[in-house]
Amino acid sequence: MSLIDVIRECVETNINKNQLCNVAFGTVTSDEPLEIQLDDKYILTKDYLILCRNVTEHEIYMTVEHETENHTHTHDIKVIDAYTCSGEGIIEEETHLHEYKGKQMFLVHKGLKVDERVVLIKMSGGQKFLVVDRLEEKEE
């Protein structure tokens, strides 16, 4: 074996040994507890998975400014008699909108569901997989 062949073999071995990651594709076989099947042989359980926000149910603050849909409900209204300064409560039913604005917390429903296809990155060292995203979303 020539010196060049020895160097080439050392470089190839070192590159393969220090490979940072591999991209893999899997299918969710169970959502509770989470399991993802890579191929016919390997099923990954939650101990081997790191989930990105794209594949989890999570809360997020959003700034909104809109009105609710038109709806009917009742309001308690206090009527005051100007002469006696006494009042009584009445209920008034009306159809109207409510303004809804400001910074609000929302729940984002992005948890994985059975049969969804996902993209994973095999971490350096080989035992952990980062679940990056789904390939297509299932409709509810």
> What CATH number does the domain containing 19 carry?
2.40.50.140
Please indicate, yes or no, whether residues 11 and 49 belong to a single structural domain of this protein. yes
Residue type, 139: E
Please indicate, yes or no, whether residues 124 and 101 belong to a single structural domain of this protein. no
Please indicate, yes or no, whether residues 64 and 128 belong to a single structural domain of this protein. no
* pLDDT in the model for residue 76: 64
Report the domain count for the chain: 2
* pLDDT in the model for residue 22: 83
Please indicate, yes or no, whether residues 49 and 63 belong to a single structural domain of this protein. no
Domain that holds residue 85: 58-108
- Return the ∠ at Cα 63 (arms to 57 and 69), rounded to 5°: 90
Low-confidence ranges of the chain (pLDDT < 70): 1, 10-11, 14-21, 73-94, 126, 137-140
Sign of CA dihedral 84, 88, 94, 100: positive
| CA 71 – CA 89 distance, rounded (Å) | 22
Q: Is the pTM value of this prediction over 0.85?
A: no
Other CB atoms within 10 Å distance of the CB of residue 118: 22
